[in-house]
Amino acid sequence: MGKYRKLGRTSSQRKALLRNQVTALIYRGKIVTTEMKAKEIRKIAEGLIAMAVREKDNYEEVTIKAKVARKDKDGKRVKEVVDGKKVTVYDEVDKTIKKDKPSRLHARREMLKVLYPVKEVPQEAAGRKRNTKQVDLVAKLFDEIAPKYTGRNGGYTRIIKIGQRKGDAAMEVVIELV
């Protein structure tokens, strides 16, 4: 017996399917899929969560000086005329950022190899490109998901059988984060 299920797909299709479903699982917290796919998703997702739990506190906070555009009361940038050209006015501000240590940076890059980028579209402006926001799933793994599982040694996901699918009688399951 092999180390993984082929799921009736070529290797590139299988990799894309699993990446897509792992991304959806981490973004939403639970998904409905077939039993065989869920067992494959579980392996990948639990590895990512274990990596996040291991590296969640492995950073240092650094204060840096950053240039930030000055804004008026409407939220628009303040422009100033210099030598006949309009130039944006910048202020220097102290910002505190998290600087990853090398092992956490490596973990972040390994997670980015698996997870697809996710864009969040607000309900009120569903068709507009301008209002979409990029969701940082790696930050979600480190900041929200990993702290929940600190005292736990594995078993971060749960598979619940919900019955057979009507079309092809495949066993459907819900896979969720515990």
6 exposed, middle or buried (CB, 10 Å; 0-12, 13-18, 19+)? exposed
Domains (range + CATH), the chain: 11-57+102-177 (3.90.1030.10), 59-100 (no CATH)
Q: Residues 16-72: pLDDT tens digits?
A: 999 999 999 999 999 999 999 999 999 999 999 999 999 999 999 999 999 999 998
Lowest mean pLDDT among 90-94, 124-128, 168-172: 124-128
Distance CA 33, CA 22 (A): 11
pTM to 2 decimal places = 0.83
Instruction: Find the helix or strand (DSSP H, E) in which 111 lies.
Output: helix 102-114
Q: What length does the chain have?
A: 178
* Mean pLDDT (the chain, rounded): 92
